Amino acid sequence: MTGPRTEPVATAAPTGAAAPAARTEATARAVTDVFQPRNVLLVGMLAIGWAAAGHWSGLPWGLLGALCAGIVPAAYIEWERGRGTWGDRHVVDRTKRAPIFFVILGSIGTGSAVMVLGHAPAGILMAMLALWVMTVGLLAVNTVWKISVDSAVASAVVALLSVVHSPWWLTAYAMTVAVCWSRVALRYHTVAQTVAGASLGAATAAALLT
């Protein structure tokens, strides 16, 4: 014998002041997910590889760069998430981020060694070195302050492309600004932390490639 059926209760859509806030958060989450470091590095390193070689033969080197700088670290984060180490890819607890930086440094270092042995174009190799130095900076700052990695990567890739390919890539800093905004809107970082990350990314790229 069964009791009376109960209909599922529909969740009311946000109204009044809550509706704009919900839309802002949804937009910020979409921006931070689309332009996460893994995705930005995949597109950016392929473009840097092409530009550094001057033709399609640079694409495999760019793919290697994207694999080592973005995809391997992202896979490591997902693996640790599966083990319950972190709640999501953002790793909001600053004190738990050090292993990620060491994985990135090891992965980029390995990829750079392969590039040297394979006589990769100088531009893509220097881009890898710039990302390695940037990661050292992020690790150092992270020991005392939660600097934004997403902002640093979004800035570094644009700066690298502007040096290796064309200054017109600087217009893509609109994407970097959007990433910074999204990190603040989602309360993962303060404005100062995103500005610091973006500045570090640009500075290391410019210092090593110009």
pLDDT of residue 6: 43
User: Mean pLDDT throughout 132-156?
Assistant: 96
- Establish if 200 belongs to a structural domain: yes
Q: What is the separation of C-alpha 188 from the centre of its chain, rounded to a whole number of angstroms?
A: 14
52-60: long-range contacts at Cβ-Cβ below 8 A with a sequence spacing of 24 or more? 52/120, 52/121, 52/122, 52/123, 52/124, 52/127, 52/164, 53/121, 53/123, 53/124, 58/121, 58/124
Any idea which residue has 């997910």 for tokens?
33
Bigger pLDDT: 183 vs 15: 183
Give the model's confidence band at 7: pLDDT under 50 very low, under 70 low, under 90 confident, else very high: very low
φ, ψ for residue 119 (rounded to 5)?
55, 50
Average model confidence (pLDDT) for the chain? 90
Q: Which amino acid is at 10?
A: A
- Establish if 3 belongs to a structural domain: no
φ, ψ for residue 18 (rounded to 5)?
-70, -30
- Establish if 54 belongs to a structural domain: yes
Residue 169 lies in domain: 25-209
pLDDT of residue 17: 57
Alpha-carbon span 33 to 159, nearest angstrom: 21
- Establish if 144 belongs to a structural domain: yes
Alpha-carbon span 32 to 107, nearest angstrom: 23
- Establish if 145 belongs to a structural domain: yes
Domain count, the chain: 1
pLDDT of residue 26: 95
- Establish if 153 belongs to a structural domain: yes
- Centre a 10 Å sphere on the Cβ of residue 129 and count the other Cβ atoms it contains: 17
pLDDT of residue 177: 98
> SS3 of 91, please?
coil
- Establish if 13 belongs to a structural domain: no
The answer to whether 69 and 181 are in contact (CB under 8 A) is: no
Q: What is the separation of C-alpha 87 from the centre of its chain, rounded to a whole number of angstroms?
A: 18
Alpha-carbon span 205 to 210, nearest angstrom: 8
Instruction: Tell me: pLDDT of 15 over 70.
Output: no
Give the model's confidence band at 89: pLDDT under 50 very low, under 70 low, under 90 confident, else very high: confident
pLDDT of residue 39: 97
- Establish if 66 belongs to a structural domain: yes
